[in-house]
């Protein structure tokens, strides 16, 4: 059998080994905890950088779309003004021709009636065929 001192020494060694194992487990757990915390921090930073890039891209796209819409509105307004000017010019020319025709009819009523009859007769011949 073993001596009581040997048993005490064995128990002390086992207790020391158990304490040492517990310390090693605790130390490793702390390292895992720190590594996990570091990984979370790095992931958060990466996500923040990606979100900033996406946000910047969205701002750029929105600015470009707004600029394009503004330019399109300006071009449409320019086209509208050009169309109105062309319409006003056409109306002015038509009124000028109408004034010339009225003056001609006033100055030469017989010739105007003869021309109207001739034009009617010619139009009738054309549309009859």
Q: Indicate yes or no: pTM above 0.75.
A: no
Rounded Cα distance between 31 and 57, Å, is 39
Rounded Cα distance between 67 and 86, Å, is 29
Question: Which of the four pLDDT bands, split at 50, 70 and 90, describes residue 2?
Answer: low
Rounded Cα distance between 19 and 88, Å, is 102
Q: In this predicted model, what pLDDT tens digit does every residue of 53-63 receive, in sequence order?
A: 999 999 999 99
Give me the residue spans of the domains in the chain.
4-128
Q: In this predicted model, what pLDDT tens digit does every residue of 78-124 receive, in sequence order?
A: 999 999 999 999 999 999 999 999 999 899 999 999 999 999 999 99
DSSP summary character for residue 121: H
Question: Which of the four pLDDT bands, split at 50, 70 and 90, describes residue 12?
Answer: low
Rounded Cα distance between 88 and 103, Å, is 22
């Amino acid at each position: 059998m073993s001596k009581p001192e040997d048993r005490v020494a064995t128990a002390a060694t086992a207790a020391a080994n158990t304490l040492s194992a517990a310390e090693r487990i605790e130390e490793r757990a702390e390292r895992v905890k720190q590594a996990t915390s570091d990984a979370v921090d790095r992931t958060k930073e990466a996500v923040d950088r990606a979100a900033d890039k996406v946000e910047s891209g969205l701002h750029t796209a929105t600015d470009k779309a707004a600029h394009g819409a503004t330019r399109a509105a300006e071009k449409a307004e320019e086209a509208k003004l050009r169309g109105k000017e062309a319409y006003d010019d056409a109306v002015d020319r038509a009124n000028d021709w109408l004034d010339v025709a009225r003056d001609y009819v006033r100055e030469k009523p017989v010739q105007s009636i003869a021309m109207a009859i001739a034009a009617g007769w010619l139009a009738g011949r054309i549309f009859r065929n």
